[in-house]
Amino acid sequence: MKVMPSNNVGRRMKELAAAYPGCLGHLFGLKGWRSPFLPYALDNGAFPAWLNGTAWDEAGFLALCETAREHEGLWGESPLWVVVPDVVTDKEATKARWVEWAPRLRTYGWPLAFAVQDGMHEHDVPADADVVFLGGSTKWKWASVNMWGYMFPRLHVGRVNSYRLLWRAFQAGAESCDGTGWFRGDQRQLAGLEQFLREWTAGHRRHPQAWLWDSPTPAEVRPDPALVTARAAGRRS
């Protein structure tokens, strides 16, 4: 699992990237672009706007995409994916934004991530989405993370800021996660990231290779049995 601290290219980040090659990446949000030295992805800025009660900055998002395209042209480094604009905790508005924005963003040639929201199920994910970005409210996200990890091979978990939650995301099958708090001065929090990287790379804790329902899962976030059967059949073929 690639851990992607948001908007960070600092000295400690570089040290950890050197110590744990392939384990870290960048997630750049609006006004957060820095010259990347690791694989990177692009956020759309919807969550901080929602959190602060401000309007989403469409122009800022498009500027970020254009900056990444210029970087790609100069250095040949494309984003791993870009999060298509969403509306936090609003499933219908998020699906409408996908219809509006996915065709526009496809012109860049980058993989697109669909941000799932409270109340969504696997059938709400567009067929042409390359990555599932697990957003929504904190409670719903962690109640449903195992289902999303089982149903989709490419899962990114947003807002993962503790040692315990790093392991939860990893054990759910996430290919990546992000967090804003790792390098903000809380040494215990940073120590948790370092401990996770040490344990994971040393194989001290194993990734479970079977069902991951390690706690009772609310009925509203359990997968559709028919889709589970179809997915299992696909894995066996």
Burial (0-12, 13-18, 19+ Cβ within 10 Å), 197: middle
Q: What angle do CA 82, 120, 87 make, to 5 degrees?
A: 50
Q: Of all helices (H) and strands (E), which one includes residue 229? A: helix 225-236
| Nearest 10 degrees: Cα torsion 23, 27, 33, 39 | 40
Q: Which pLDDT belongs to residue 137?
A: 92
The residue behind tokens 């697109």 is 112
Q: Which pLDDT belongs to residue 205?
A: 66
What is the SS3 assignment for 177? strand
Concatenating the DSSP letter of every residue in 124-142 gives GS-TT-SEEEE-S-HHHHH
- Write out the two tokens for 35: 């010259």
Name which of 214, 228, 220, 236 is nearest 146 in CA terms: 214
The residue range of the domain holding 93 is: 2-236
Q: For 68-91, how does the pLDDT look when each residue is reduced to its tens digit (9 = 90+)?
A: 999 999 999 999 999 999 999 999
Residues of the chain with pLDDT under 50: 206-222, 225, 228-229, 231-237
Domain count, the chain: 1
Torsion 171-177-183-184 (CA) sign = negative
CATH classification at residue 146: 3.20.20
Bridge-based pairing of strands 26-28 and 40-42 is: parallel
